[in-house]
Structure 1
Amino acid sequence: MTDSDNGLNVDRRSLLAGAAGLVGAATLPTTAAQAMPQEAASMNPSTNTSMSAATKRYPSNWPDLEPYGLADTRLDLWPREDNSYILPLELRPRDQELGRVWMRDTYVNCFVEKGRPIYVATGTTRAPGIAGPAPWNDGIFVWTSPSLRGPWRLADTTRIRPGAEKGKVWSPEFVGENRPGRTVVAPWQEYWTDEGQFGKRGNAWAPEVHYFRGKWYIVACMGDHSQKVGSFMLVSDGGVEGPYRLVEGNLDKPFGESFTGGPTWIKPGAYHHIDGSLYTEGDDAWLVLHNHLYAKFRDDMEDIVPTTGLPAFQQTPYAPEPYLEGAYVFKYGGKYYLLHAAWNRTSTNPDGTTRHAYDPPGTGRQQYHYDAVVAVSDTFEGPYSKRWTAGVGAGHSNFFVDRSGRLWATFFRNPRFGYWADPSRIGDTAVPGIVRVEWTGPKGNRLYVQRRSHGRTIDD
């Protein structure tokens, strides 16, 4: 892609700077579906494919691994020191001891508001004194910046809630803001206390921020410890900082219907489809639910279009198909990319070698890396191609395009299991990371984490 004009062409020392520097760089091996920013449209292959094809040599696709379902573990597909960095997000008081923001399910995107680019960042965070985002956390925080390099500031919520923590745009604790005809927190989203197993419960996970038709939206999920588990959407009555309210379709429950699933402590009938995402194209919008469902939104964006059973993407599943998370649709180069998070599990082949595959849990299988796997299609609904590994350890992420048309993905280094759960690495997990992405052109139609074998760096 073309060189960025948003301050990304910085030297190596600058990339290692920020709130806590390039967190965990020494621990690494040594060896995107929203409306595009308007000023980047001329460089986006979706609108200029023929010119791009005529003037640029594209990296090649790697051959598919056989059998289908094997995981690619090559170090070229890792977020590394030369292709990624940690966003220097403004610290909150709770972040001072760690020296950076603790974040899972990192989400970053670039939009144009009132003719100016605005970058947004959010993700799953934890409350002070809690080791992770469960059994409760204190809601959703948003950061904004004029460029990827920064400065990344907490959204200015001080005029909305002068006495509350800056940057917190929604939380179950805002239930007191409910008014007739305007619900901020539904009863099923409120904190609650169980019979002594966990105590205080209720958590919001995997938020995404979107700008669509001149309004700001947040799609997020009430997590496994909530009274009802599933995806919901907020709409702002002001700017990206809010104030946000709940859409009409979520006043009584999450999107979609309930089904049996989730951990054993979830009450029967409480579990709905999680990790909701929003895809927009033109004046239309769709809800994307893991791991294979979607639904179109009504024109007023207050609910999804009623249907008997949500439609499913036409995919090429693994055999057997494992549990997938974090579905996300991104359009680029005229193609649709369906992104999932999948656990790469290790097991032992008959000859004693290690097998890396996107297998379901089973005897002798160990979670190793939380990967980003992607498939491509000519249409939103599919059929989608076979999946490929787009990023090792980059699961539950999103693709996006910066203001100059360059491709990026997010990552966070999952601390739950596997490689990043090792005690020697756990301190470098749950980070707001971004990594450069390369496109293999209008013939290859694949997106990969920028591979080192092509001799590029983050500044190219």
Structure 2
Amino acid sequence: MTNNMNRPPIGRRALLAGAGTLGVAAALPTAAAQADPATRRGQPRAYPANWPDPEPYGLADTRPDLWPRDDNSFVLPLELRPRDKERGVVWMRDTYVNCFVVGGRPLYVATGTTRALGLDAAAPWNDGVFVWVSRSLRGPWRLADTTRIRPGAAQGKVWSPEFAGENRPGRTVVAPWQQYWHDDEFGKRGNVWAPEVHYVRGRWYIVACMGDHSRKVGSFLLVSEGGVAGPYRLAKGNLAKPFGESFIGGPSFIEPGAYHHIDGSIYAEGRDAWLVLHNDLYAKFRPDMEDIVPTTDLPKFQQSPYSPEPYLEGAYVFKHGGKYYLLHAAWNRSSVAPDGSTRYAYDPPGTGRTQYQYDAVVAVADRVEGPYSRRWTAGVGAGHNNFFADHAGGLWATFFRNPVAGYWSHPSRIADATVPGVVRMEWTGPEGNRLYVRRGQNQPADG
């Protein structure tokens, strides 16, 4: 993809002409449609069915077909760092994977929240953002080559609070609010969460979030002065603070005035790009991508909220089939229904409610700002993810298996949690307009 992170390539002629994939989406079929013999012959294509939604709105669909399984998913064989050797797989939360076309060839990138050597979580500090690259989704996956940028430093580490010493007049790599600090309660503090790599109008960007243990908590943008490996510098709009204004939020140990909007993502289409933030917020970037357009209040996506609406995380926008899909991560909590059965729902925390799975819930719209449809469960246990298209137009989602609570926190499963996983997705066609984890063969008809 030449200027957008959310679409498969559309053919060599369009790429050579410099067309952005979304700029010609209305005129050309997707790569998946081009590859479908039935579509080429003008025959109707059989699409998977939409599933009836659990009622009332807000109940979760927990059917096994919506889980990442051995038949529809796998863990990426990312190159191991020294810290990963004992475990045999990279420890990762908030897994992000995407496919771009660069120089006429597909380039896959992977990143996510990782932990520092000797820690069992990505807090109270971690050591930065690592990036892996591959020419195929199946690999081999190699750490991005950073040897010419920082000889002798950890391979693949493209940004870290450790790089504060690289700041120069007119070029900031790490702002003061992103640097490590210490206190009596936690000791060393400062962590970076949920990085995403994007390729917008021929330039590489990383959007990420300084986590709860940082001086200021919130989303920021890094701009590459080279390739996908960097070197990266901080966008001018983040020299003093994260994007957006501060507000009351987060754990009690966050200092007053330090909490901003988290889980930043980017959606780009043609010459425009947007910052996507947690829950329901977004903002348009300036044309130079150095900051968001000033506004008194950040605009909100027009959504169909649950009642009551829980806290949502990991917002992401993906375009497919001419529609916009808004992803969120939501805790599916179990409780006892009035008839004694188990109730699964996207409820806020409450008495008798137990965290069960960290799900991906999705809604669809005709415009990026909405209004969006009612949400549906797209993947059980696949929350805080992104959707992407591979170089042939196949649809995928990421997952990591949240070990904080619920199903993947059980001692028998914890070793298989926090992984860089990908799962195949299926589209229910231009009439259904839903994306699900690829389900089994025996699917019920529309309800």
| Same-fold call, TM cutoff 0.5 | yes
Q: TM-score, normalised by structure 1?
A: 0.90
Identity of aligned residues (%): 75
1:291 maps onto 2:279 in alignment: yes
1:235 maps onto 2:223 in alignment: yes
Amino acid at match of 2:278: H
1:36 maps onto 2:25 in alignment: no
1:219-298 matched pairs, under 5 angstroms: 219-298=207-286
Q: Relative to structure 1, is the Cα distance of residues 454 and 436 closer, same or farther in structure 2, using a 3 angstrom cutoff?
A: farther
Cα offset for 1:54?
4.1
Choose from 383, 393, 408 the match for 1:420.
408
Amino acid at match of 1:115: G
Cα offset for 1:38?
4.0
- Paired residues of 1:46 and 1:333 also in contact (CA < 8 A): no
Cα offset for 1:453?
3.1
SS in 1 for 2:195: strand
1:305-454 matched pairs, under 5 angstroms: 305-454=293-442
After superposition, the C-alpha distances for 1:412-458 in whole angstroms (9 at most, x for unaligned) are 00010000000010000000000000000000000000001358xxx
Over the aligned positions, Cα root-mean-square deviation in angstroms equals 1.7
After superposition, the C-alpha distances for 1:17-43 in whole angstroms (9 at most, x for unaligned) are xxxxxxxxxxxxxxx953533439765
Q: Partners in 1 of 2:391 and 2:419 — Cα distance?
A: 23
Q: TM-score, normalised by structure 2?
A: 0.92
Q: Partners in 1 of 2:43 and 2:280 — Cα distance?
A: 36
Q: Partners in 2 of 1:125 and 1:43 — Cα distance?
A: 38
- Paired residues of 1:229 and 1:274 also in contact (CA < 8 A): yes
After superposition, the C-alpha distances for 1:213-243 in whole angstroms (9 at most, x for unaligned) are 1110000000000000000000100000000
Q: Partners in 1 of 2:10 and 2:244 — Cα distance?
A: 33
- Paired residues of 1:45 and 1:334 also in contact (CA < 8 A): no
Cα offset for 1:47?
8.5
Amino acid at match of 1:44: T
**1:100 counterpart residue number:** 89
1:20-59 matched pairs, under 5 angstroms: 34-39=6-11, 44=30, 51=39, 54-59=43-48
Deviates more, 1:53-62 or 1:166-175: 53-62
After superposition, the C-alpha distances for 1:110-160 in whole angstroms (9 at most, x for unaligned) are 001111110000000000000010000000000000010111000000110
After superposition, the C-alpha distances for 1:152-188 in whole angstroms (9 at most, x for unaligned) are 0000001100021000000000000000000000000
Unaligned runs of 5+ in 2: 13-20, 22-27
Amino acid at match of 2:213: H
- Paired residues of 1:45 and 1:333 also in contact (CA < 8 A): no
Cα offset for 1:46?
9.7
After superposition, the C-alpha distances for 1:329-363 in whole angstroms (9 at most, x for unaligned) are 00000000000000000011111111000000000
**1:193 counterpart residue number:** 182
**2:168 counterpart residue number:** 179
Q: Relative to structure 1, is the Cα distance of residues 201 and 427 closer, same or farther in structure 2, using a 3 angstrom cutoff?
A: same
Q: Partners in 2 of 1:54 and 1:234 — Cα distance?
A: 46
Q: Partners in 2 of 1:421 and 1:105 — Cα distance?
A: 16
SS in 1 for 2:11: helix
Cα offset for 1:283?
1.2
**1:301 counterpart residue number:** 289
